[in-house]
Amino acid sequence: MIRKSLFALLVLCCTSGVFAQNNAAVVFLQIEPDARFSGMGNAGSALADNSSAVFWNPAGLASQKNTELSLTHSNWLPNLSSDLFYEYLTGKYHIEGLGTFGAHVTFLNLGESERRDESNNLIDTFRSYDAAAGVSFGFPVNERLSVGTGARIIYSNLDSGGGSVGTQKTQAGISAGVDLGLLYKARPLNLGGIKTSLSAGFNLANMGPTIQYSDKGQSDPIPTNIRLGVASRFDIDNYNSITLVGDATKLLVHSEKNADTGNFEADPFYKAIFSSWKPLTVNIAPQGQPEVFKTLSIANQMTWAAGMEYWYRKFFAIRAGYFYEHPDNGNRNFLTLGAGIRQSIIGVDFSYVISLQENGANADTPRFSIILNL
């Protein structure tokens, strides 16, 4: 069975776990949705103030008392293929005295691939896709602290269940994930006459069982990850405000090589949450070349994101951000730009990636979000 190399490139571009010791399946769960926060460098766990909080930090739902629907679309990795696209539908609803509920549906189309036999004869073609659907809930513990949680069902259909690897028949993968979030908002400060708000966020996402793609095959972990963030908003006057955000994210997946089989076996998620916090030795040599090993510190295993947002009259916004991942751990390095408009109950956001690498796979990737605020 031969799949297009686009899928392999997609994996390399979407996850920081690209080495055998800490790789994960269904990496589409790590794609940052929502054009607003994507325009701020893919940072938002300490802000999380719209319906996309179900991704960034479900605790952010707690302080949101309006009803909202949002749809995000992206032609994913357009420099690689024209038939990859990403859709993210989310909504929220507040129940007085209880909290705010959120829900989402995620869909990543991986395009069309060919199935061939051992003699390279075409058997048929098939379409691949990943999908997830879930619910979230956030509620205030007190005036400053909020808690949130969420759960999702994951369905990964890579070859339509019609192929095989050796004697093993392939199948769609099914799993589930659970999130836990905290959001703390400090008392507002007055800095030189400017009202300043500070917040810190924590989100532990995609805790769940492994996913399996064959009837007898080795299962793979889903991308459990931790996201830590800070945010600060400066209300300059009644018309102008600036918000600064920053996030640090780490994949909490860990595998050890079995001495008997030579295969890497992943720790269950409840163990990997702790076992993944140590230096990681990886082979950085190109495939087919002599092995070259390098040790990555914990800091080098993390992704770093920072951004800003400027609002004028809560009507028009401009955004910018920066995202960094170590060259030996995914090697994503890019700037983001974004803009947004709010008019009555309608909002539109746009973001765009400017890769700082030559021929970066995620270069020129746009996102569009439409918001209906009821």
* Alpha helices (H) along 15-58: 35-38, 53-56
What pLDDT score does 11 carry?
A: 43
What pLDDT score does 12 carry?
A: 41
pLDDT in tens, 31-84: 999 999 999 999 999 999 999 999 999 999 999 999 999 999 998 888 777 788
Distance CA 115, CA 1 (A): 5
Residues ≥6 apart with Cβ < 8 Å to 366: 74, 75, 78, 350, 351, 352, 353
**Under a CB-based contact definition with an 8 Å cutoff, are residues 267 and 278 in contact?**
no
Is residue 17 pLDDT above 70, yes or no? no
Using CB atoms within 10 Å of the CB of residue 41, give its burial: 0 to 12 exposed, 13 to 18 middle, 19+ buried: buried
**Under a CB-based contact definition with an 8 Å cutoff, are residues 74 and 23 in contact?**
no
What pLDDT score does 264 carry?
A: 76
Of 66-75, 85-94, 107-116, 270-279, which range is least confident?
107-116
**Under a CB-based contact definition with an 8 Å cutoff, are residues 237 and 310 in contact?**
no
Q: Assign domain 5-373 to a CATH class.
A: mainly beta
pLDDT in tens, 95-154: 998 999 999 999 999 988 777 777 787 877 788 999 999 999 999 999 999 999 999 999
pTM of the model: 0.89
Is residue 274 pLDDT above 50, yes or no? yes
Distance CA 330, CA 351 (A): 22
Residue indicated by tokens 């539109």: 348
Average of per-residue pLDDT values in the chain: 88
The percent of residues above 90 in pLDDT, for the chain, comes to: 65
Distance CA 123, CA 114 (A): 8
The percent of residues above 70 in pLDDT, for the chain, comes to: 90
Local confidence band at 21 (pLDDT 50, 70, 90 cut-offs): low
Average pLDDT over residues 311-340: 94
Local confidence band at 359 (pLDDT 50, 70, 90 cut-offs): low
3-class state of residue 160 by DSSP:
coil
What pLDDT score does 16 carry?
A: 35
pLDDT in tens, 185-198: 999 999 989 999 99
What pLDDT score does 162 carry?
A: 61
**Under a CB-based contact definition with an 8 Å cutoff, are residues 138 and 203 in contact?**
no
Distance CA 82, CA 100 (A): 38
